[in-house]
Amino acid sequence: MTDQNKDDLYHPSVGVGENTEPEAKENEQPLAANAMWGGRFAGGPDAVMEAINASIDFDRRFHGQDISGSRAHAAMLAAQGILTAEDAKAIDAGLEQIAGEIERGEFVFSRALEDIHMNVEARLAEIVGPAAGRLHTARSRNDQVATDFRLWVRDAMDRMIAAIDDVIGALLDKAEAHADTVMPGFTHLQVAQPVTFGHHCLAYVEMLARDKARFVDARARLNENPLGAAALAGTGFAIDREATSKALGFDRPTRNSLDSVSARDFALEFLSASAICGTHLSRLAEEIVIWSTPQFGFVSLSDKFSTGSSIMPQKKNPDAAELVRGKVGRVNGALVGLLTVMKGLPLSYSKDMQEDKEGVFDASETLELCLTAMGGMVADMAVHEDAMEAAAGAGYSTATDLADWLVREANLPFRDAHHVTGRAVGMAEERSVELAELPLADLQGLNSAITEAVYDVLTVQASVASRTSYGGTAPANVRAQVTAWRERLT
């Protein structure tokens, strides 16, 4: 759609796809001044007012939801005897035609008609004539946009849930393949204790599963129908809100007309869940960036998810991960933006709420792209097991295993065992050796109860195998969790 097409004004003499405006007659009022706003306004808006007021450049995304809502509303009006069957049939056919025109790129959107609702209604009037004016009976643009927005966000939530499942699936595949692969577990980005790479992947499965649950939970709260609340007070027409709710897949009608048109917490919940999910993706992206450095060398990405340098031919940059990390800032910004718009608004509707959409649209596109990219990176990355295992033993990562052994086998209080282990680490550090390389006699010099059996817990493989408590890193635990998650997902 060209910019010229976007700005063209609908008028009965302008056909679909035409780019010319009719010559204005003397004293003729602009269409936007009277046909849609009614007789209250004698003149058209200033060009600046039109520019700041129009939302069609972004709310045209609602076209599918808007037309679905209008078809459901028309059918309900006919069923209630408010609209004749003949008018309802004509309106439905006209709306179906408009949907096809939009899908084929033939529809000409007009800024002068402000928004998707008025653009559709004006085109409907061209197609079916005066009957189009009856469609807006017992509704307002206030409940209309609230309905459209809920339908759109609901669809977006469904896409996020499916995309999260894809990333979880990729992580489960990696966890299963690397249930035995030892790597360092970190605190403060310092080597802490050995874990398995499979266990590390499952940590993100847990995070993303909670993200999915947030979308599912928010979707259930969202799924109430505002249509029929009209401008703010409901309507005196004998409408059937249960019928439109069923037709549009809502669980029930909203219970308060003021809240129906003024609430945007469903969008805030969507953005909040998106921001939290994005934060989890960003953390994993950061780890991929770190792991793929030569200093770590834990993983590598193929050319599909990497770029090079224009000046340094040796470079292979994890740009996909870096972009996920960076794009999450846009999602966070959308949340803060909408919170700021809504925080000072009295009931019910205010025009400020027109600013509720662009951030949601952008956040939705951004998060869906990030989820897709992350799923691809996880599936694509090669895991370098030797590098992980070498790093897992660095920094005396099995020191806690020594302390635990002293508690279990030598019956030492943990604080005493901690002290003995600290002295052993100091001794190993002075000699530049690992704990497992200290002679037994030297260890017995620290505590006489230490036996040859202590060496069974000082390797990283023995360490991870011993962590069999529920939720621990033992390979058997990892495999059991992978199986449980696959059953849960199916």
Residues noted as catalytic: 188, 309
456-to-139, 180, 419, 424 alpha-carbon distances in Å: 75, 17, 20, 16
Note whether 385 and 181 are within 8 A (CB): yes
- Asked if 164 and 211 count as a contact pair (C-beta separation under 8 A), the reply is yes
Q: Give the residue among 186, 283, 201, 90 at the shortest CA–CA distance from 481.
A: 201
Residues 6+ apart with CB under 8 A from 84: 78
Contacts of 326 (CB under 8 A, 6+ apart): none
Q: How far apart are CA 227 and CA 143, in angstroms?
A: 5
In the chain, the N- to C-terminal Cα span, in Å, equals 42
Question: What gap in Å lies between CA 179 and CA 182, rounded to an integer?
Answer: 8
d(Cα 481, Cα 52) in Å, to the nearest integer?
54
The amino acid present at 375, given as its one-letter code, is G
CA–CA distances in Å: residue 478 to residues 84, 188, 199, 393 = 64, 24, 6, 20
Q: Is the dihedral of CA 245, 250, 255, 261 positive or negative?
A: negative
Sign of CA dihedral 174, 178, 179, 185: negative
Query: Among 61, 38, 225, 69, which Cα is nearest to 135's?
Result: 69
Task: Tell me how many degrees the CA angle 90-10-133 measures, rounded to the nearest 5.
Answer: 35
Among 45, 36, 71, 8, residue whose Cα is nearest residue 141: 36
Q: CA 61 to CA 146: how far, in whole Å?
A: 14
Report how far residue 135's alpha carbon sits from residue 67's, in angstroms, rounded to the nearest whole number: 11
Instruction: Name which of 116, 164, 124 is nearest 141 in CA terms.
Output: 116
Looking at the DSSP assignment, which residues form a beta bridge with residue 190?
Answer: 187
CA distance 362 to 147: 20
Phi, psi of 307 (to 5 degrees): -135, 170
Report the b/e string of 126-153 with b at 16+ CB within 10 A. Answer: bbbeebbebbbebbbbbbbbbbbbbbbb
